Amino acid sequence: MALIFTFPCGGCGRRYSVYYPKALMYELSGSGTRQMGEAEDEAERASGAIEAARARAEAQGNIWVDAGVALEVRCECGKRLDVNLMHHPRVPVTKPSVLKRQTGLIPFPTVSKPARGTGG
């Protein structure tokens, strides 16, 4: 099924339902080729799933936006809406070095002890 997020405008509260085609998602995330996504999108279009989702969103009073056409929308109130998911990570981004986990044995420095019985 298509990826659709609904959110309100931060300025006036109008609700937007944003459709993200798989071709766009594959391209933005690097998880596949645009051609792979286009094939999946075409199958969804042919089945009527995208049009049904659009009709459902509009029946609820939401404004339909196709992110494959524009990743930035200007609301009627004048607020600029950036609908590019890559600009809004839902998972905290951490540095790669923090993600590495040390495994195995940790060698401790050895301290040489004086031999017994050699003292004066």
pLDDT tens sequence across 29-70: 777 788 888 988 999 999 999 999 999 999 999 999 998 888
Give a yes or no: residue 112 inside a domain: no
Both tokens assigned to 92 = 């905290």
Asked if the structure places residue 36 within a domain, the reply is yes
Q: Beta strand 63-66 with 72-74: parallel, antiparallel or unpaired?
A: unpaired
Domain encompassing residue 16: 3-88
pLDDT value of residue 64:
94
The phi, psi pair for 58, rounded to 5°, reads -70, -30
Look up residue 108 and give its DSSP letter.
Answer: P
* pTM exceeding the 0.75 threshold for the entire prediction: no
Please indicate, yes or no, if residue 23 is contained in any of the structural domains: yes
How many domains are contained in the chain? 1
